[in-house]
Structures are given as structure tokens and as C-alpha cells.
Amino acid sequence: MTDTPVALITGASRGLGAALAEALCETHHIVAVARTTGALEELDDRIQAKGGSATLAPMDITVPDAMATLCRGIHDRWGKLDLWLHTAIHITHLTPAVFIDAKDWEKCNAINTTAVSVLIPYVAPLLGDDGQAVFFDDPHAGEKFHGIYGATKAAQIALARSWQAETVKTGPRVHVLQPRPMATAIRARVHPGEDRSALATPASEAARLLAQL
């Protein structure tokens, strides 16, 4: 048990997730979840340089047993969570709907939608009545070439909004926030040649979004 608030960040290794971890590390102990061990270790170095602390969890959120182990570990060590920020996403290359690949669909659906349906029941008891859960919308449903990502991300947010509506009187508080377009590695891959000077930085968006909680 600890008096320091504990924040779970799923998708913490890069981009917005890493920026949120760095923004919160001076006030929260960070539980950082991602598949890339090296990137998590680099994040931990930056957190320690700020005087913060983190627990690194190199795990795949699409593996239910791994997520059950994670949440049991959080319960055994701290007894609760104060904050859950879910930033993990997967986006394939943009493609017309008539060329959708079944494997691309399955991977996007597993990460963007199914994993969230597993995590909510696992994390909710840790948040209790007073904790907060935060999801990040990226509305592309119905846009050309965004069929896979747009559909699976929209399904994730629909699930989050249902949970939000169900917990208005009971808690935890569930938020759905919308980041501005950011200069991330994922965006560079999907939108090559884009003028990145017009994009927000993950750090600036982390500060703006956290101010809304």
C-alpha cells in the first residue's frame, strides 16, 4: 500500500502514452504497460530523471491471462488504482474497404476493441468508486481508406461511452477525450510527407488533456 496515487497507462512506451506518463510521474507512481521493453526502459530513465517512479510491465494487452496477472499484481501491491489511461492503439496502412485484409482486421480488432472489453472488467474493481478511467477518441469512422481503424476505434469508444453512462452515479468516473493530431511515429507512417510543423506534440497534448480531468 502507498499514499502516492497510482496511474496505469496501457500503451505507455511511445507517443501520447509516454507523454502522459512523464506528465504524471511527479504526482503518481506509473504502471507502464506496452510490448516494447526497450522503449519502456527509456521511459523509465526519463521518469527517474524527473524524480518519479514507475513499474514496467512489458505485456501484450491482447492476452487476457497477462492482463489478469497485471491487475492481480496491482491489487496485491497497492490495493487499488487511482487512474487508468488507455492509449494503446493499432492502425494498419490505409486501404480501400474492398482490399481489407483479414489478418489486418483481426489485429486491429484485437488491440483496439477486444482488449478493452477484457480490461474494463479487470480494471474497474481496482478503480472503485473514486478512480478515473480515460479513453482517447480519434474519430475516423466512415472516412475513406480508414475502414479497419475507423471501425475498430469507434467500437472501442462506443464501449467506453456505455461504461461512462453506466457509472455516472456509482463511479468510477469515465472520460472520453479527443487529442489533436500529433507528431507521432504512427502518424508519420500512416501519413508520410505530411507537414509535421502543423501538428501538436504529445507532451503539449498530454498537458492539455490532463487539465480536463
For 104-118, write each residue's pLDDT tens digit: 999 999 999 999 999
**Cell numbers representing residue 36 in the block:** 516494447
Model pLDDT, residue 190:
86
Q: Above 80 in pLDDT, residue 25?
A: yes
Q: Measured between alpha carbons, how far is 141 from 161 in angstroms, rounded to an integer?
A: 16
Mean pLDDT value across the chain: 96
CATH 3.40.50.720 corresponds to the domain 6-177: yes
Domains of the chain, residue spans: 6-177
- E strand or H helix at 10, and its extent? strand 6-10
Contact 163, 169 (CB under 8 A): no
Report which of residues 143 and 76 the model is more confident about. Answer: 76
